[in-house]
Amino acid sequence: MSLFPAARVVRKGVPKEFSCNQAQMDIGGIMPSIVYFGSARTRSHADSKIAKIRRLAEAVGMEKIVKKGDLTAIKLHFGERGNDSHLRPVYARQIVDMVKAAGGKPFLTDTNTLYLGSRMNSVDHLLTAYEHGFAFSVVGAPVIIADGLRGHNAIQVEVNLKRLKQVYIAQDIYRADSMVVLSHFKGHAVAGFGGTIKNLAMGCATNTGKREQHSPRLTVNEEKCVGCGMCENSCPAGAAQVADGKSTIDKGKCIGCFECVAVCPEKAIEPDWWSDIPEFMERLTEYAFGAVKNKTGKVVYFNFLLNITPDCDCASWSDSPIVPDIGILASTDPVALDKASYDLVTGETGLPHSILDQTAPGQDKFGAVWKNAQCLTQITYGEEIGLGSSKYELVEV
């Protein structure tokens, strides 16, 4: 009997006949994508998270995807300074070692941020990564910030989709021969949740691409605003200012980083949730599509359902997790992986004393935290544009 009723654990073990690059057909059409799962529970060294990461990599066929001599990008988020719920370096080390064993040449990578913080340029970004333990002596691979010193080293990738005709992808991610994407699955103030799709979209885009995805029209609810000035202090563009005890947003200066939305204690600053956010979610998903367009059959994805906090790791803090640790998932389908992760979180009971508190199994946990977010758009639209499938089978390893 499955511990996770919201997701479909259909079988246990690795099906030897399954090939991650093979189109599998049944009577109803294309079979669901395979998502491999390793539980957070363990009572032995052989079942440790480290061991499960290695089993997941083997199950998903990483050694067939990474070829000898590949320059292999390991895409992850090093965490903003002050954040302590980002992925642990020891997890990345397992992937580094397995890429090397397959003959690849791994490097850890991310892109710079729009907002003011410890990752706005490559120098500060590297220092933050090292402070968080991602030094060569720990992870066994160099760290390369993929979009250059100030976030402008881009390759224009044609996507020709509904919202965007081309996207701006960081050069060193685009030019990598293969990629392993490690994502901490958690909440997000605007997207609802951040997993693989958001990691690809925002995390592989240059500054131009990040601005292009956001493009918001933020407004201030003056009844809620207390004039604390946190928005003004956090705004990298000088668009937020406090005058006569109330905040204002200069829409001409706003670059759409949503930092003011994240830091406002009164939740007084919001986008137009019903017109801006659906478009934002579609642009985000189109960027994810563009990030891997030149890597068909050359990407492996992992979602870590550990320390599932309400906020992105871009926050300079880490709130209490909203549900218990669940485990680690891997797939070659980013849409199926995020959908399975979402379902597993939904199937849990909310943790007491968290921002979510004790919500029942089956209730949308991210929707309960971020009530206006339309988080499943990245799943439905991702399937629509061919990024992946929302149908999956969960195989426990």
What HEC string does 109-175 produce?
EECCCCCCCCCCCHHHHHHHHHHCCCCHHHHCCCEEECCCCCCCCEEEEECCCCCCCEEEEEHHHHC
Q: In whole angstroms, what is the distance from residue 3 CA to residue 38 CA? A: 12
Residue 253 is predicted with a pLDDT of 85
Residue 262 is predicted with a pLDDT of 79
Q: In whole angstroms, what is the distance from residue 234 CA to residue 256 CA? A: 13
Beta bridge partners of residue 26, listed in sequence order: 29
User: Two tokens at 212?
Assistant: 């292009």
- Chain-centre distance of CA 41, in angstroms? 23
CB 67 within 8 A of CB 102: yes
Render pLDDT for 332-379 as a digit per residue (tens, 0 to 9). Answer: 999 999 999 999 999 999 999 999 988 899 999 999 999 889 999 999
Q: In whole angstroms, what is the distance from residue 363 CA to residue 301 CA? A: 26
Q: How many residues does the chain have?
A: 397
With a cut of 60, say whether residue 306 has pLDDT above it: yes
Regarding beta strands 392-396 and 246-249, do their DSSP bridges make them parallel or antiparallel, or are they unpaired? unpaired
Q: In whole angstroms, what is the distance from residue 243 CA to residue 240 CA? A: 10
Q: How confident is the model at residue 273 (pLDDT cuts 50, 70, 90)?
A: low
Residue 10 is predicted with a pLDDT of 54
Render pLDDT for 172-226 as a digit per residue (tens, 0 to 9). Answer: 999 999 999 999 999 998 899 999 999 999 999 999 999 899 876 788 999 999 9
H or E element in which residue 10 lies: strand 9-12
- Write the DSSP symbol of residue 58: H
Question: What is this structure's pTM?
Answer: 0.86
Beta bridge partners of residue 167, listed in sequence order: 157
Render pLDDT for 67-126 as a digit per residue (tens, 0 to 9). Answer: 999 999 999 999 999 999 999 999 999 999 999 999 999 999 999 998 889 999 999 999
Residue 13 is predicted with a pLDDT of 53
CB 255 within 8 A of CB 236: yes
Taking residue 103's Cβ as centre, other Cβ atoms within 10 Å add up to: 13
Coil, helix or strand for 283?
Answer: helix
Q: In whole angstroms, what is the distance from residue 184 CA to residue 196 CA? A: 8
- Residue 47, classified by CB atoms within 10 Å of its CB into exposed (0-12), middle (13-18) or buried (19+), is middle
Residue 2 is predicted with a pLDDT of 40
Q: In whole angstroms, what is the distance from residue 271 CA to residue 260 CA? A: 11
For residue 271, give the nearest of 315, 235, 221, 230 by alpha carbon: 221
